[in-house]
Structure 1
């Protein structure tokens, strides 16, 4: 199974020149913990960073910075980690572990944003699959003479 098959396609996005206050309002409105920062080009959305609720607390609120004066482009990490949509789920999990990230924008071959996959999404998928295997084992035990 590819990560493109399971990623969240409805990604909350922002441009670099929007404020972190706007980011926090979007996160609250959509009940999400992050927004993907993109550069929009003709018909393309290329991810350039992620701003998380933790970033806002640690980098803005705790530092008593003005959330209306700081742009999301100022908060994002310089090197964004992404994953190709054709990448397998287990390969994606290993990649997340190796890079130490909990969220990954999913991109196509051109680097355009397809969606986002989170650690929570992957844990939920694994729990569902393990549950299905457990039910299969239980079913087989009940049907053995």
Structure 2
């Protein structure tokens, strides 16, 4: 299954100039723990970084730094890892594991923001798949019993 079929297409995003207070308000309003930071290029949103609630807490709040004037662009993680819509689930999991990320933006062929996928999304999918797989053995036994009449 291509990750583009699984990802959440409604992504909460910020621009580099979004203040940390505005970013926190977006997270609160939309009940998310992260924002994809984007640049607008030719009418497309191009992901350039990620900003998490943890980034705000660890880098600003825990250090008792003032939040005024701090922007998403200054605080975001600049080494963005993204995945193309066409990537498979296993390849996406491997990429997330290799880079130690729990959320990953999904990009279209032109590099525009198409969605986001999280570890929780993947766990839900895998749980459904394992549940279906667990049903195979009992059904096979029932079929064999019907066929052989034992």
Task: Specify the TM-score bucket, using the shorter chain as the normaliser.
Answer: over 0.9
CA distance in structure 1 between the aligned counterparts of 2:137 and 2:22, rounded to whole angstroms: 50
CA distance in structure 2 between the aligned counterparts of 1:115 and 1:68, rounded to whole angstroms: 30
Report the counterpart of residue 35 of structure 1 in structure 2.
35
CA distance in structure 1 between the aligned counterparts of 2:39 and 2:109, rounded to whole angstroms: 16
CA distance in structure 2 between the aligned counterparts of 1:24 and 1:63, rounded to whole angstroms: 17
CA distance in structure 1 between the aligned counterparts of 2:5 and 2:104, rounded to whole angstroms: 14
Report the counterpart of residue 75 of structure 1 in structure 2.
75
Q: Give the structure-2-normalised TM-score.
A: 0.92
Q: Which moved more, 1:62-71 or 1:26-35?
A: 62-71
CA distance in structure 1 between the aligned counterparts of 2:41 and 2:98, rounded to whole angstroms: 31
**Deviation at residue 142 of structure 1 after TM alignment:** 3.5
CA distance in structure 2 between the aligned counterparts of 1:94 and 1:37, rounded to whole angstroms: 23
Q: Give the structure-1-normalised TM-score.
A: 0.95
Report the counterpart of residue 148 of structure 2 in structure 1.
none
Structure 1: 4+ residue segments shifted above 6 A: none
Q: Which moved more, 1:133-142 or 1:93-102?
A: 133-142
Pairs aligned (count): 145
What's the secondary structure of 2:39's corresponding residue?
Answer: strand
Deviation digits for residues 53-100 of structure 1 (CA, Å, limit 9, x no counterpart): 111110111011222321000011222111111111111101111111
Across the aligned residues of Structure 1 and Structure 2, the Cα RMSD in angstroms comes to 1.1
CA distance in structure 1 between the aligned counterparts of 2:140 and 2:84, rounded to whole angstroms: 38
**Deviation at residue 43 of structure 1 after TM alignment:** 1.9
How is 1:57-96 mapped onto 2 (pairs within 5 angstroms)?
A: 57-96=57-96
**Deviation at residue 109 of structure 1 after TM alignment:** 1.7
CA distance in structure 1 between the aligned counterparts of 2:52 and 2:130, rounded to whole angstroms: 30
Bigger Cα Rg: 2
CA distance in structure 2 between the aligned counterparts of 1:119 and 1:91, rounded to whole angstroms: 13
CA distance in structure 1 between the aligned counterparts of 2:64 and 2:115, rounded to whole angstroms: 32
Q: Note if 1:100 corresponds to 2:100.
A: yes
